[in-house]
Amino acid sequence: MKEIRDMNILAIESSCDETAAAVVHNGREVCSNIISSQIELHKLYGGVVPEIASRKHIEKINQVIEEALREAQVTLDDIDAVAVTYGPGLVGALLVGVAEAKAIAYARHLPLIGVHHIEGHISANYIEHPDLEPPFLCLVVSGGHTHLVCVRDYGKYEILGRTRDDAAGEAYDKVARAIGLGYPGGPKIDRLAKEGDPDAISFPRAHIADAPFDFSFSGLKSAVLNYINGCQMKGETFRPADVAASFQKAVVDVLVEHSMRAAEEYGMGRFAIAGGVASNSALRESMKKACGERDLKFYHPSPIFCTDNAAMIGAAGYYEYLAGTRHGWDLNAVPNLKLGER
Ligand code: KG4
Ligand code: ZN
């Protein structure tokens, strides 16, 4: 693939509850990465309220973009293309980023590149690992997705497995709510689990007979809720730290087991993780160990590039640009966009 030198991409991400903008140089060098999180606002409701998210994106987006340009010490004159997440995600939230990106690209006569959110998460791994090139395997674990993906080449993905029900992050958030930890639950369970015994309670690990790389977390979530309800009905107290640690172990065991089976079957030498749950300390530790035992090179982004951000969209946008992807002014938000679709 021909490399185009000195290309600055202005990237925009607004698919869920983070309004984010970044300036990325040549796909891998992050000149700025601004994230305005709405977490405090959505906490009141125990989860993301789509209408509130869209409104907040509208309020914040210009400010976040200005800050991204300022921090990168550039102006729109130095920008060569605009990349934006156009799916999957909340339609109203996505529309804000898409409309903004189209307006800037149109006004400045710049190429417009629509990016798939999951492709962004996967590409977050390129930012801090100059040696990472496809092909490799990637486990994408976020609040909305659990995908085991074979990255054949830049922009070329084969989905080996996916969740049949809840995403891994969704299970973390629901269990956290049941223990009374609040939203978002992932980081809180991660922290609390450190004080608990992961072998205290035996929670189920789901395996799907005809699809060894697929996942299912709703049975595990129900088992945790039943355990808590059972204790409460019997008037027994339970140790939240033990529940958190035992639940986390069940999730991590399944994620690692399926990932390693895929790596062996597909003969891959490199394995990466991505998405919000990829910042989980237990998952990172277990994956590192499992990869080490198999001589697999293990990659993971820093936590700030795991959860939603625009730098990852800039990285993905660069490789899409090199592959010739250009979107027209009719680019629309696609809430259920499939990976690999254009
Ligand atoms: O990638 P992301 O920011 O948004 C989506 O694309 O969904 O992921 C957010 C998810 C939430 O479910 C959050 O609870 C989870 O990632 N998460 C974590 C951790 N940090 C964030 N889950 C487990 N451990 C963490 N440290
Ligand atoms: Zn995400």
Query: Quick one: which atom of ligand 1 is closest to the CA of 15?
Result: 6
What backbone phi and psi angles, to 5 degrees, belong to 209? -50, -50
pLDDT confidence of residue 2: 47
Q: Percent of the chain at pLDDT above 90? A: 89
pLDDT confidence of residue 183: 84
- For residue 271, which of 281, 283, 260, 257 has the smallest C-alpha distance? 260
Query: Quick one: which atom of ligand 1 is closest to the CA of 143?
Result: 7
pLDDT confidence of residue 40: 85
> Mind listing the pLDDT tens digit for each residue in 5-20?
689 999 999 999 999 9
Å from CA of 203 to ligand 2 middle: 27
- CATH homologous superfamily of domain 8-125+306-322? ATPase, nucleotide binding domain (3.30.420.40)
- Is the Cβ–Cβ distance between 231 and 243 less than 8 Å? no
Residue 118 has pLDDT above 70, yes or no: yes
Distance from C-alpha of 319 to C-alpha of 306, rounded to nearest angstrom: 19
Beta bridge partners of 24: 9, 30
Of 27-31, 38-42, 121-125, the poorest mean pLDDT is in 38-42
Nearest CA to ligand 1 atom 7: 143
Output the ligand 1 site: residues, CB below 6 A: 16, 142-144, 169, 172-173, 184-187, 190, 275-277, 279-280, 307-308
Q: Which two tokens stand for residue 70?
A: 């300022």
Predicted TM-score (pTM) of the model is 0.96
Q: Where are the domains of the chain?
A: 8-125+306-322, 134-301
> Mind listing the pLDDT tens digit for each residue in 231-265?
999 999 999 999 999 999 999 999 999 999 999 99
- CATH homologous superfamily of domain 134-301? ATPase, nucleotide binding domain (3.30.420.40)
What contacts 119, CB < 8 A, 6 or more positions away? 155, 157, 316, 320, 339
Query: Quick one: which atom of ligand 1 is closest to the CA of 173?
Result: 14
pLDDT confidence of residue 161: 96
E strand or H helix that includes residue 256: helix 240-266
pLDDT confidence of residue 93: 97
Q: How does strand 156-162 pair with strand 146-153?
A: antiparallel
> Mind listing the pLDDT tens digit for each residue in 142-196?
999 999 999 999 999 999 999 999 999 999 999 999 999 988 899 999 999 999 9
pLDDT confidence of residue 4: 58
pLDDT confidence of residue 44: 83
Rounded alpha-carbon distances, angstroms, from residue 116 to 22, 62, 78, 157, 218: 16, 22, 25, 12, 26
Distance from C-alpha of 241 to C-alpha of 197, rounded to nearest angstrom: 7
Å from CA of 175 to ligand 1 middle: 13
- For residue 225, which of 203, 241, 194 has the smallest C-alpha distance? 203
For helices 168-179 and 185-193, the axis angle rounded to 10 degrees is 70
Query: Quick one: which atom of ligand 1 is closest to the CA of 275?
Result: 1
Q: Percent of the chain at pLDDT above 70? A: 98
Q: Determine the average pLDDT of the residues in 192-202.
A: 98
Å from CA of 18 to ligand 2 middle: 9
pLDDT confidence of residue 3: 55
pLDDT confidence of residue 166: 95
Fold identical between 8-125+306-322 and 134-301?
yes
What backbone phi and psi angles, to 5 degrees, belong to 228? -65, -45
Beta bridge partners of 161: 148
- Residue 163 has what DSSP assignment? B
What contacts 233, CB < 8 A, 6 or more positions away? none
pLDDT confidence of residue 5: 66
